Amino acid sequence: MLSVIVVSWNHAAWLPACVASLRERAGAIALEIVVVDSGSHDRTTEIAESLGAQVVACENRGFAHANNRALEHVSGDWVLFLNPDTEVVDGTLEDLVSAAASHPRLGIAGVRQVNADRALEWSIRRSPSPVRWLSEAVGSESLPWRRRPWAGERVLDPACYEREGQIDWTSGSCMLARTDVVRRVGGMDERFFLYSEEPDLSLRARKLGWETWHLPVLTVIHYGGNEGSDPRLTAQLAHARRLYLRKHGSRVERVAGFAALVLGSALRGVASRSAQKRACARAALATLLRVRQPPFAAQTARRPPDELESAPT
């Protein structure tokens, strides 16, 4: 059985198409669909129940918190973490689980994602590092060497998205995992309200011997993604990256990473051609320098993951 977890915070309008695509593209695999109503003020619960999904209600304390609450209820051997603003458009969930199961050390997997215009989304990511953040700060993704491993977290080579392969981490908008693996590492770290949960989860799984893969047997449309135009989300992204490095980086990496994040935000706050992007960058800079509190500080859960020392056998 495959358990699908869809976290909704006032995303009721997206649920019918998302759930319909799951059922249409299930193949022969049995599905368990769980919708988390994360403190919504719309009709999330009503619509989810009308679609035959199980509903788990919780406070809005972040993406990790909501997924962890759903994990307490699922019964499938595999779990698919899925954004509500997505639709499965090619391949089947049966194919995806079959491909994942063929790799005995695979613990987490991503799929091929496209945006509303069917353009490829860069969902394959490299491990966060000060060097990659510094490269992003100076606009490496628009330069000839943008595909180099040090040029940024996003893998910008389209060919990589057409073949199976081991990767560092994948976007959580559509992320498959062995349920037991996620539970063994203690679930997602709830200290990340939003962003950086995925690289953190993949790194903790990797330390216990599990791998993260890209599996292009399934294609999903992802309609969202507006952190580049929302000051709160841009500030949260910067804050989450700093939290990640505080957790996993050496002292030198923490200092270098903070400097790279500050430099990038400062440069974009001055040099960006878009007034909105300048505002976003300045919000991130203010958060990094503690002029402002992190955007969701009052809502962020404090529970660290309870990691268990269990490796694949």
Domain ranges for the chain: 2-222
Q: What is the pLDDT of residues 186-204, one digit of tens each?
A: 999 999 999 999 999 999 9
The predicted structure's pLDDT at residue 225: 57
The two tokens of residue 97 are 């689980």
Q: Say yes or no to pLDDT of 278 above 90.
A: yes
The predicted structure's pLDDT at residue 290: 94
Task: Name residue 187's beta-bridge partners.
Answer: none
Mean pLDDT on 61-80: 97
The two tokens of residue 40 are 């919504």
Handedness of CA 226, 230, 231, 232 (dihedral sign): negative
* Confidence at 145, pLDDT banded by 50, 70, 90: confident
CA distances, 22 to each of 30, 54, 237, 261 (Å) = 11, 14, 29, 38
Q: Say yes or no to pLDDT of 132 above 60.
A: yes
The domain 2-222 is placed in CATH, from the list 2.40.110.10, 3.40.50.740, 2.40.30.10, 3.90.550.60, at 3.90.550.60
- Termini Cα distance of the chain: 22
The predicted structure's pLDDT at residue 137: 82
The predicted structure's pLDDT at residue 186: 96
Mean pLDDT on 106-129: 96
* Confidence at 233, pLDDT banded by 50, 70, 90: very high
* Confidence at 153, pLDDT banded by 50, 70, 90: very high
195 Cβ contact list (under 8 Å, min separation 6): 227, 236, 237, 240, 241
The predicted structure's pLDDT at residue 308: 58
The predicted structure's pLDDT at residue 63: 96
The predicted structure's pLDDT at residue 227: 56
The predicted model scores a pTM of 0.94
User: Mean pLDDT of all residues in the chain?
Assistant: 94
Provide the greatest CA pair distance for the chain: 53
Mean pLDDT on 37-64: 97
Alpha helix ranges (H) inside 88-194: 93-101, 130-137, 179-184
Mapped onto helix, strand or coil, the DSSP state of residue 112 is strand
Alpha helix ranges (H) inside 175-305: 179-184, 197-207, 231-248, 251-271, 275-288
Share of the chain above pLDDT 90, in %: 86
Mapped onto helix, strand or coil, the DSSP state of residue 114 is strand
* Confidence at 272, pLDDT banded by 50, 70, 90: confident
Do 155 and 196 form a contact (C-beta atoms < 8 A)? no
* Confidence at 148, pLDDT banded by 50, 70, 90: confident
Alpha helix ranges (H) inside 15-92: 15-24, 44-50, 63-71
Do 210 and 312 form a contact (C-beta atoms < 8 A)? yes
d(CA 126, CA 135) in angstroms, rounded, equals 13
Q: Say yes or no to pLDDT of 44 above 70.
A: yes
149-156 long-range Cβ contacts below 8 angstroms, 24+ apart:
152/126, 153/125, 153/126, 153/127, 153/128, 154/122, 154/124, 154/125, 154/126, 155/122, 155/124, 155/125, 155/126, 156/122
d(CA 204, CA 218) in angstroms, rounded, equals 25
Q: Say yes or no to pLDDT of 156 above 60.
A: yes
